[in-house]
Chain A
């Protein structure tokens, strides 16, 4: 009974996937592809899902002939471009800790290189905590995490006056379930470009 329905959804989806996508050259700008992806019917089973994966991998690295995205006045574009170049926006911490792991130091080292190569940007480091413990203590903990990152970046040569810190404690969780896999995502320092010095 439902099968016919399904066919109406799945078949066009498959067709779209098989003929629609490859027709487009890899260099087609991503917006169209994104539109395609979101129109794949959600209730259909596996094929569309696989479709989205492939569509995603087809997404070409932006080969912008016009302009370096880092020159964009839109800081969101700047942040996306820095991430593409290897900037880690988030580093994570153990429970009630603000010490930096070796892995975190490696990421911050890459971040520091990028920031030093782009001295026109100022960065804000947000300190976050998971929900366990009081909100007030977690604000203090977030403050320490943000400053631990700031200090490490400074030790690698990122001028302190380019860096602003703010602690949100447990007030801005990225994940709200009461499980460790969720808590661990919230125990983080988040780095984001928030300003640009006027060059020239």
Chain B
């Protein structure tokens, strides 16, 4: 059958990576031959203002130590670059790299250099050392308090050269957790649709657009990918067997199976936060309503009952609410209801067309596409206060927003550069940049859990 053949390439990609990382993700190695005079990373607390009020932590990031030849050199370079980019992209840090640090008189003994690092305002120092053991990359990463010289974090990673990016992401997220107590996004993934291979298929890429891999091979139109909360599966819509129907792709095995395929239209899935049910839009005699279903298609329940279009449900992260689009007031607007369908109420009033709600991880905001002056823009509304802000401007049909797992960024689709591409911006609308370039790409959904590789 078709799903099986589609699963094979995914398996081929996922399996070695999963294996590699099982090796790479060695348990935290506090005593793993810490270079130089590192302190054990006990329960050192670094007294920082933790980036409160948007203030960034100043971090010294000297070049990693260690020389590798051949493939190892490229892997080590990619590792270092990726850690730097991840920390920069997190938005928490102001990085002083080798270019800035070269102006300091550093001895190479970090304990003796603390004052020099602090002289340019650094609060923490990130040190990396790379070497190879046979054909494997070994990376020691440490973060020190520039005041006390004590280690806040010391990790050792080992794995084949091919997983250097994944190593870097893992370490970057550890740094964010150690210094800020927050979940990093470097290991998160973005599911999306792409036509780069011909037909519109479901793809997954790293949060920064790297490492794209094709999930479906239906050679039809497949769309609306939605992550399961644990990041192990994607629900999606596909036309490959006729009318648009709901399917579930297990990422580790590559296996695809039907969820709801009866009737003329089943679209736009969204998982409940417990991962056990899916909200979606289904046609009843030509009128589209919101339903929920178990993952096997059982226990089908109808939540809306209006003669207008009701579609695009988005289950709130705490599970109590479902946001959806309805045209019952004449134009499409965002509504909220309880997860059982009661208490349906409109929450967007600006603009003539509001559609495609996505929740922030905290459940306080929804982002959506809003038509303003004839152009679609990304807007966010505070669900409690209904305060609304428009984050994009100009042409480009900006739509399909999705929040990063830390709630600090929004990925969305824009045509401002020609074809549809996935863009990312900060929550205040700043720093808008594309993360896809190949073919036409759309319908991003940012993972919550860490998806298998």
Contact = CB atoms under 8 A, between A and B. Distances in A.
Chain B binding surface SS class: strand
A135 B399 CA distance: 10
Contacts of A148: 286
Contacts of B327: 96
B286 A146 contact: yes
A96 to B, nearest CB: 7
Given A136-B224, A137-B312, A144-B309, A171 B200 contact: yes
Contacts of A133: 332, 353, 355, 369, 371, 376, 399
A132 interface: yes
Interface string A114-147: 0000000000000000011111110111011011
A144 B288 contact: yes
A84 B397 CA distance: 39
Given A135-B224, A140-B281, A143-B288, A167 B353 contact: no
B200 to A, nearest CB: 7
A150 B283 CA distance: 14
Given A165-B264, A167-B264, A171-B200, A135 B442 contact: yes
Contacts of B311: 136-137, 139-140
A132 B376 contact: yes
Contact of A144 (B287, B332, B356, B443): B287
Size bracket of the B interface: 35 or more
A166 interface: yes
B264 A166 contact: yes
A167 B400 CA distance: 20
A134 B264 contact: no
Contact of A147 (B237, B239, B281, B285): B285
Contact of B353 (A96, A135, A143): A96
A131 B371 CA distance: 13
A61 to B, nearest CB: 36
Contacts of A141: 309
Nearest to B312: A136
A132 B376 CA distance: 8
B309 A140 contact: yes
B286 A147 contact: yes
Contact of B443 (A135, A137, A143, A146): A135
Interface of B: 200, 221, 223-224, 237, 239, 242-244, 264-265, 267-268, 281, 283, 285-288, 309-312, 325, 327, 331-332, 353, 355-356, 369, 371, 376, 397, 399-400, 415, 442-443
Interface of A: 96, 131-137, 139-141, 143-144, 146-148, 150-151, 165-168, 171, 178
23 contacts: A132-B397, A133-B355, A134-B325, A134-B369, A135-B400, A136-B224, A136-B356, A137-B309, A137-B325, A139-B244, A139-B265, A140-B265, A140-B281, A140-B310, A141-B309, A143-B286, A147-B287, A165-B264, A165-B286, A167-B244, A167-B283, A168-B239, A171-B223
Pairs A-B, 7 closest by C-beta atoms: A147-B286, A140-B288, A136-B268, A134-B356, A140-B311, A140-B309, A136-B312
Given A134-B325, A140-B281, A140-B288, 8 more contacts: A96-B331, A135-B442, A137-B355, A140-B309, A143-B286, A144-B309, A147-B285, A150-B286
